[in-house]
Amino acid sequence: MNITRENIDDLNAVLKVDIAKDDYNEKVQKVLKDYRKSANIPGFRKGHVPMGLVQKQYGKAVLVDEVNKLLQDSLQKYLTEEKLDVLGNPLPKDQEDLNWDAGDYTFEFELGLAPKFEVDLQPKKAITSYTIVVDDKMVDNQITTIQKQYGKITSKQEVENDDEVSGSFVNEEAEFEKKTMFEVAKLKGKANTSAFVGAKVGDTVTVSTKGLFEEAGDYRSFLGLSEEEAKEKNLEVSFTIEEVNRREPADLDQELFDKLYGPGVITSVTELKEKIKEEGENQFKQQSDQQLLNDVTERLIENTEFDLPAEFLKKWIQRSGEKELTFEEAVEEYERSEKGLRYQLIEGKIIADNELQITFEEIKAYAKEMIKAQMAQFGQNDPKDEELEGIAARILSNQDEVKRLSEQLMNKKLLDFFKENVKLKEKEVTFDEFVKEVYN
């Protein structure tokens, strides 16, 4: 057997595979002999069917099967030995006139080659790395929320300024519906407040999404839209009041502190504020880190230029699924997936060039840390290592979990790498400022 490669250009090549009868005949004959031993053909005892009959009945199918196996094994071995970085899989060229009686065969395969490129981690314009701080206003709002959450709830029939209402915002024409609960005090402007105040359970109120709430974050919480989306859509929505409640706030005393954090952990309002600030900034760090990862990804795709074997990839997408697509469908799928493919190549190069690969021991250690954190949430702050090992072993016996943890750990490694190597501009913002800059 002989394999030769012709490079069409930097991104496309054709493999020519010559297979002689000696390459496959021994395996074909062995399979046919095994068939002869087990074949049940009327008029012949098992194991005594003439070889010519077995050859006539099964020979062509066995030949095709063995040649295809040989092709796949040989192609994989060739790609590995030649260290060819290919996209997708080799695509066989159409050979409608292939004569399976010839004995010697020639097959051709199209290859899509991965492009060569460099990644510039120092863009001219620095990427913003946000640090979200919890300001006094947010702390005070959180304390007010806690007091209401742990306070006494009184059901009412008529809405007043300090009440909360439950129901759904609906616009049937736009197929928009959002079930929610919000405080009347969060509405923006006299017109919106007046629409609710005085309404009763069962009444329907009509308002517009544009300018409905005071705070930018409230649009996502109560409408499921960003402030900008609510403004652009400017939907007229109806809200049927299902429930009205008045919450009498709980006192800021030791009983409340103990309910929140356990006996004696917090002993004053000052300590409570410090704890809320610490927890909030830890939570926001995850959000700002994810945004940084998203922003770096977008910038790398934008600034890293290289060509792809587009026509090959469209053909490969067309043929590689369970059901063959039309060429038009394949083109649409390629256009949807091109950006993701580009980042996969960029990410792969960064990982390879900087040796960011993950070991199984790292995955296990990461799993144990996650388990410890989850156990701490339920008051188990000092689990034994044997217990952690046992839980981790059960988790890592599931390949889907291993894949999920590997992706999380790689994202963490990439994030740490980007923080150290990408040109960044630090910016301290409140959460509301972060929402306005990132989501609007």
Are the C-beta atoms of 88 and 320 separated by less than 8 Å?
Answer: yes
DSSP 94: P
Are the C-beta atoms of 11 and 307 separated by less than 8 Å?
Answer: yes
Backbone angles phi, psi at 8, to 5 degrees: -75, -45
At residue 162, the pLDDT reads 87
- The Cβ of residue 253 has, within 10 Å, a number of other Cβ atoms equal to 9
C-alpha distances in angstroms, 122 versus 116, 126, 137, 299, 419? 19, 8, 37, 10, 12
User: By three-state DSSP, how is residue 366 classified?
Assistant: helix
Single-letter residue type at 238: S
pLDDT tens digits in sequence order for the chain, 440 residues long:
899 999 999 999 999 999 999 998 899 888 888 888 777 777 777 777 788 887 888 888 989 899 999 999 999 999 999 999 999 999 998 877 788 888 899 999 999 999 999 999 988 899 999 999 999 999 999 999 899 889 999 999 999 998 999 999 999 999 999 999 999 999 999 999 999 999 999 999 999 999 999 988 899 999 999 999 999 999 999 999 999 999 889 999 999 999 998 899 999 999 999 999 999 999 999 999 999 999 999 999 999 999 999 999 999 999 988 888 999 999 999 999 999 999 999 999 999 999 998 999 999 999 999 898 888 777 777 788 888 899 999 999 999 999 999 999 999 999 999 999 999 999 999 988 998 888 76
DSSP 184: G
Contacts 24+ apart (CB under 8 A), 19-28: 19/67, 19/70, 19/71, 19/104, 19/105, 19/106, 19/107, 20/103, 20/104, 21/103, 21/104, 23/70, 24/63, 24/66, 24/67, 24/70, 27/66, 27/70, 28/59, 28/62, 28/63, 28/66
Q: Return the H-helix or E-strand segment holding 434.
A: helix 431-439
Q: Which of 341, 321, 351 lies closest to 415, judged by CA?
A: 351
Furthest C-alpha separation in the chain:
97
Are the C-beta atoms of 132 and 429 separated by less than 8 Å?
Answer: yes
Domains of the chain plus CATH, in order, are: 2-113 (3.30.70.1050), 152-248 (3.10.50), 267-306+354-439 (no CATH)
At residue 321, the pLDDT reads 82
DSSP 158: B
Helices (H), 245-268: 254-261
At residue 51, the pLDDT reads 81
**In terms of pTM, does the model score above 0.75?**
no
At residue 440, the pLDDT reads 67
At residue 398, the pLDDT reads 92
Are the C-beta atoms of 230 and 239 separated by less than 8 Å?
Answer: no
Q: Which residues lie below 8 Å from residue 316, measured CB to CB, with a gap of 6+? A: 87, 88, 89, 91, 112
